[in-house]
Amino acid sequence: MEEFELSEKCKQGNNLARKELYELYSGRMLGVCLRYIGDRDMAQDLLHDGFLKVYASFDKFTWRGEGSLRAWIERVMVNTVLQYLRKNDVLNRTTELDGIQDSYEEPNPSDIETIPQKVLMNFISELPDGYRTVFNLYTFEEKSHREIAQMLGINEKSSASQLFRAKGVLAKRIKEYLRMNI
C-alpha cells in the first residue's frame, strides 16, 4: 500500500492498515526510541505508547508528500519519549562522570567513519539521560538550544552545557575505541 493510501485508511480506523503501518515503521521507530532511552524494554513500551498516540491522532495528520507520514510518526515518537523523560524527571537527575574536561579534541570525521554505526549508537545510548536527550535533539532532530530548552523545560545554557559534555564523553569513547581497534 502506498503511503498516502495507508494514511487515509488509518484515518478511517482500518485495523489492517494500522497493522501494516506498525509493521512498516516499528523497526525504525524503535531505533528512534532507543536513541533517547537506553533501556530496550522501556523503549519498546514507549514505541507502543507512541503508536497508540499515532492511531488516536490521525485526524491531526496532513499529507505533505512522500515521506511526510514517516516524519510525522517520528515526531510523535520523539514527543512520546520526551514526555516520559519530563514526567519521570529523568532530565533533572545529574550524573557525575569521571574525566569530563572543560575542553576536548574532536575526532577526525574520517576516523569516525571507520567505526560501525552500531558501536557509535551504543556510545550514544550509554550517555547519561540529559546528555543523550540534548545530543539527540540537537544532532538528529536539528533543534536549536532555544527549542531544546523550551521542549525540556531547561535553561538554554544548560542545553548547551549538556551538549558540550555529551560531545566530550563521545570524543573520549571514540578515541578509546580507535586506539583499541585500529
**C-alpha cell recorded at residue 74:** 517520528
Task: Note if the pTM is more than 0.95.
Answer: no
Running DSSP on this structure, what letter comes out for residue 117? H
Can you give the pLDDT at residue 108? 87
Q: Measure the CA–CA gap between 124 and 127, rounded to whole angstroms.
A: 5
pLDDT of residue 100: 54
Q: How far apart are the C-alpha atoms of 19 and 182, rounded to whole Å?
A: 44
- Which residues of the chain fall below pLDDT 50? 97-99
pLDDT of residue 26: 97
Task: Tell me which residue has cell 499529507.
Answer: 63
Query: What per-residue confidence (pLDDT) applies to 101?
Result: 56
**Distance (Å, rounded) from C-alpha 39 to C-alpha 33?**
9
Task: Write down the pLDDT at residue 133.
Answer: 94
Q: What is the pLDDT of residue 27?
A: 96
| pLDDT at position 95 | 52
Per the listing, cell 537506553 goes with: 38
- CA separation for the pair 130, 137 (Å, rounded): 11
| Cβ neighbours for 150, distance < 8 A, ≥ 6 positions apart | none
